Amino acid sequence: MNFESSQLIIVTLSYLTLLVLWGIYQGRKVKTGSDFTIAGRNLPGWVAALSERATGESSWALLGLPGAAYATGLLEIWTAVGCVAGIITAWALLSWRLRDEAEKYNAETFTEYLSKKHAENGRWIRLVGSLTIVFFFFFYVGAQFIGGGKTLFVMFHLDPEIGMLITTAIIIPYTIYGGFRSVVYTDVIQAFVMIFTLVAGPIAGIVYLSNHPDLFAQSIPLALQKSGDQYTSLVGAFNGFMAGIVVVGSFSWFFGYLGGQPQLSTRFMAIKSRKQAIKARNVGIIWTLVAYTGALMLGWIGIAIFGPDTLHDREWVMPAVILTIFPPYLAAVLITGAIAAMISTADSLLILSATELTQNILHPVMKKRGLFNNSLVTSRLVTALIAVVALILAYFSPSDLIFTIVSYVWAGIGGTFSIVILFSLFWKKYHGKAVIATIVSGVLFTVIWTSTGMDKVITARLLTFFVAGLFGLISTLLLKKTHQ
């Protein structure tokens, strides 16, 4: 082992060890099931904002988006515009409303809020909603494990499958022990590391390019120009109608942010007060604008350093760029930004999935049959089980592209539940039967559309939102509300 490798290992292990210890320390304050699931609904605004952003971006912003920018050039700007517009809309219009609604209905989970809001069909909403979330989040958690494997491969040349196991082993201890509270406060640390990576990386990258004339290009504009017309075009290699489809498809990430991501909406619900929600909005929006600019630039800097289509896996571009432009000890600190992104999302998804499964499915059954019903113990056991299943699915996933897996979940969960949340908040006639119809139609459409390959023609991220919305509209008007 050479000196550079030793520096990488020491810094990475130190960071991850401190992260786990910090999570366990926060977990000592967890005494009840409510603490485990939503931190007592008492989060300061800045904490909720940083946790929401770290959770929302995951390996997507550190690996997936830079990889897509590396592969397509300026076309990926539309993805960033859609995401940023969705995040700003969510923070400006939905965050404080969801916080107030959670307080009004004393709701601790995403589907608990929906079931209490539409109490006439609450039991079925809990069941259908929870099963939907758990199903899709198996894939989402698996995407984070895949991201861990890729990052550790680029850093240490570890077998990606071994890297996935290591990532899982890091996450499980403090997530099982401290639940939502541990997850949120480790997210805060990771949000700072991620934004540092997404700021320092592009700045140093631009300086590096200008000082190394032997590279593919000495600037981002020159790199895009030398790579071909499709890299400098906002519509890529497409023309006419197909160009419009591609642009709208990229922008369609917008729809998944409109309250439809339970792991993000839960952060809104957990904010301490309306005043703190305003502070959270400002922090969340500023973080997002900076992060997405940095993610795109890292991908384009990768083109300038390595040339187009030279990396075996486009999603290696961020760690490859960082390892090239920084000394090993500093590169290790910055690349932990990618690991931080994966951990911050994986642990959040695990907690939310376990909470939904435990609170809405297992506890009612156990209580009815007079079985052991300690909510804290059950939540911890279920969290561990979900992590194991997600790891197995990651090993057998038909795609190892984080971008593709996240896109699938974004359609099935985001497109579907965004309609449910928007109608629940802004349409008084919307009722429980329509909620169930919306969820079922959105899920079935996503699975069928994607499995038949039609997602490659028009993305389900766009169509699921409108299909679920149409079913929600029709079912609201045609079905009679069940009276309690």
pLDDT digits (tens, 9 = 90+) for 74-127: 999 999 999 999 999 999 999 999 999 988 998 878 898 999 999 999 989 988
Average of per-residue pLDDT values in the chain: 84
Residue 163 and residue 169: Cα distance in Å, rounded? 10
User: Can you give the pLDDT at residue 105?
Assistant: 92
Structure tokens at 380: 């911890």
DSSP state, residue 454:
G
The yes-or-no verdict on residue 1 having pLDDT over 60 is no
**Lowest pLDDT segment from 26-40, 134-148, 195-209:** 26-40
- Between 303 and 359, the more confident residue is 303
Contact present, 34 and 65 (Cβ < 8 Å): no
Return the CATH superfamily for domain 3-229+262-397: Sodium/glucose cotransporter (1.20.1730.10)
Task: Write down the pLDDT at residue 217.
Answer: 94
Confidence of residue 257 (pLDDT cuts 50, 70, 90): very high
Per residue in 32-64, pLDDT tens? 555 555 555 678 889 889 988 988 877 778 888
Helix axis angle for 328-357 and 160-210, nearest 10°, is 130
CA quadruple 132, 134, 139, 144: dihedral positive or negative? positive
DSSP-based three-state secondary structure for 43:
strand
DSSP 8-state assignment for residue 401: -
Q: Measured between alpha carbons, how far is 251 from 244 in angstroms, rounded to an integer?
A: 11
Of residues 446 and 266, the one with the higher pLDDT is: 446
Whether the full predicted model's pTM is greater than 0.95, yes or no, is no
CA–CA distance, 41 with 358 (Å, rounded to integer) = 19
3-state secondary structure 150-179: HHHHHHHCCCHHHHHHHHHHHHHHHHHHHH
* Banded model confidence at residue 391, pLDDT cuts 50, 70, 90: confident
Judge contact between 412 and 464, C-beta under 8 A. Answer: yes
Distance CA(66)–CA(370), nearest Å, equals 52
Gap between the Cα atoms of 216 and 247, Å rounded: 28
* Residue 266: predicted pLDDT: 86
Tell me the per-residue pLDDT of 433-469, one tens digit each, with 9 for 90 and over. Answer: 999 999 999 999 999 999 898 988 889 999 999 999 9
Q: How far apart, in Å, are the Cα atoms of 177 and each of 14, 180, 454?
A: 21, 10, 42
- Looking at residue 124, what is its pLDDT? 92
Give yes or no for residue 380 having a pLDDT over 80: no
What are the residue boundaries of the structural domains of the chain, listed by start? Answer: 3-229+262-397
Give residue-wise pLDDT tens across range 306-346: 999 898 888 889 989 999 999 888 888 888 766 766 766 77
Exposure string of 368-395, with b = 16+ CB inside 10 Å and e = fewer, is eeeeeeebbebbbebbeebbeebbebbe
Check: CB of residue 397 under 8 Å from CB of residue 405: yes
Instruction: Note the pLDDT of residue 176.
Output: 65
State the pLDDT at residue 69.
94
Q: What percent of the chain has pLDDT over 70?
A: 87
Nearest to 195 by CA among 304, 43, 49: 49
Q: Is the per-residue pLDDT at 376 higher than 70?
A: no
- Average pLDDT of the segment spanning 138-145: 79
Instruction: Give the pLDDT confidence score for residue 134 in this predicted structure.
Output: 84
Give the pLDDT of residue 188: 85
* Average pLDDT of span 337-359: 72
The residue-averaged pLDDT of 238-259 equals 87
Whether the CB-CB separation of 114 and 435 falls below 8 Å is answered with yes
- C-alpha 175 chain-centroid distance: 17
